[in-house]
Amino acid sequence: MASSLPKYETKTLKNGLQIVVIPLKNHSDVISTDIFYKVGSRNEVMGKTGIAHMLEHMNFKSTKNLKAGEFDRDVKSVGGVNNASTSFDYTHYFIKSSSENLKTSVGLFAELMQNLSLKDKEFQPERNVVMEERRWRTDNSPLGYLYFRLFNNAYIYHPYHWTPIGFANDIKTWTIEDIRKFHKTYYQPQNAVLMVTGDVNPKDVFKEAKAAFGKIKNDGKIPKVKFIEPKQDGAKRVIIHKDSEVEMLAITFHIPNFKDPDQVTLSVISEILYSGKSSRLYKDLVDKKRLVNSIYAYNMENTDPGLFIFMATCNPGVKAETVEKELIKQINKMKTTKVTKAELEKVKINTKSDFIYSLESSTSVANLFGSYLVRGDVKPLLHYEEDVNKITPQKVQEVANKYFDFNTSTTVILKK
């Protein structure tokens, strides 16, 4: 079957920088210029957590040729928008602009890679900004706090033990030297993917990228992550207390990494359970039994083995244990009975239409391709549509039984 994916062209410079161009011949005069660094919180160590995210913030400060805030001003002055994000596995920066601003965008990213100042006087106030973000999203948000604690308990050894924001004490105790060392180690051409997507000619991109990045030198080997999470040897159950109006619940299971063939089936299971108002969990727990206000069920697709996560926010007065019983019933139902052909077909159609829809804008195409390229394997993406097509009710049941094992699950309950 023909894939809906656009074609891409790629070249690697002598210094190891991979350049990827995805021309979308849509006459929109819009491009997304993205740079992905192969570094996220999985490259951190205990005591220095959250540094990848901190560095993302520092990237918008001063460089040899730009004053603090000038990067943003330069982007805005040509009508562009820019942003960045840090995940477990990589850090992503993007500029969305009109096609004629290709040279500006590529030049700005090259400037950040080789000329970032990393001054202590810029670092100290920004550390407070990150601390505030941690308070707002994690410490003062019961759901955010539950999410953080979930990783602290589901992983004991691997750096996925924390989320990219890091632990509060580490944020307070980093030094600018820690940040400089991290930048020197990971922000090298050989550890990055530069990507331009949209209304653009590949020749122009390769030319501009070579001119801007070609002379940047690498600085030593990139350390490999050697953490392998030991197999969980029993079910874990944790109760945490937090100032919250309602109780909350998370149940999680270990699943393989993003390349594993079972990932496609796991994402179909997550669609069946949680996507939209006709999904099983929504119909049962929100509509029919009115037990929860929100419910999530999704599979992580990470460089190293991830988690399949169920999270629920109970309605006022509802006990987390009540929701837990109902949720366990739904999980067991996936294991004991086959999904109907009709239910599976509907999910396949939705999954494929979401996928095709995500290929319409330069930004989402860049996100999609970039997330695979930066993790070193684009094959799962290229076969995605045919893999979804091949899924049978039998396969869904097999995969549910393979991973939804309550003997190695982690349950975290949040109470007032």
The residues annotated as belonging to the active site are: 56
Residues ≥6 apart with Cβ < 8 Å to 277: 283, 287
- Joined together, the tokens standing for residue 155 give 């992983």
Would you list the DSSP string of 227-293? --PPPP-S-EEEEEE-S-SS-EEEEEEE---TTSTHHHHHHHHHHHHHSSTTSHHIIIIIIIS--EE
Largest CA distance in the chain: 63
- CA distances, 212 to each of 104, 208, 260, 267 (Å): 10, 6, 36, 39
For the CA atoms of the chain, what is the radius of gyration? 22
Q: Which helix (H) or strand (E) holds 178?
A: helix 176-186
Q: Tokens 């020749």 belong to which residue? A: 203
> Which parts of 337-361 fold into alpha helices (H)?
341-357
Q: Is the dihedral of CA 9, 15, 16, 19 positive or negative?
A: negative
- What whole-number distance in Å separates Cα of residue 388 and Cα of residue 332? 23
CA angle, residues 56, 80, 17, in degrees to nearest 5? 50
DSSP single-letter state for residue 116: B
- What whole-number distance in Å separates Cα of residue 181 and Cα of residue 188? 12
Q: Which helix (H) or strand (E) holds 95?
A: strand 91-98
- What whole-number distance in Å separates Cα of residue 181 and Cα of residue 179? 5
Strands 91-98 and 192-198: unpaired
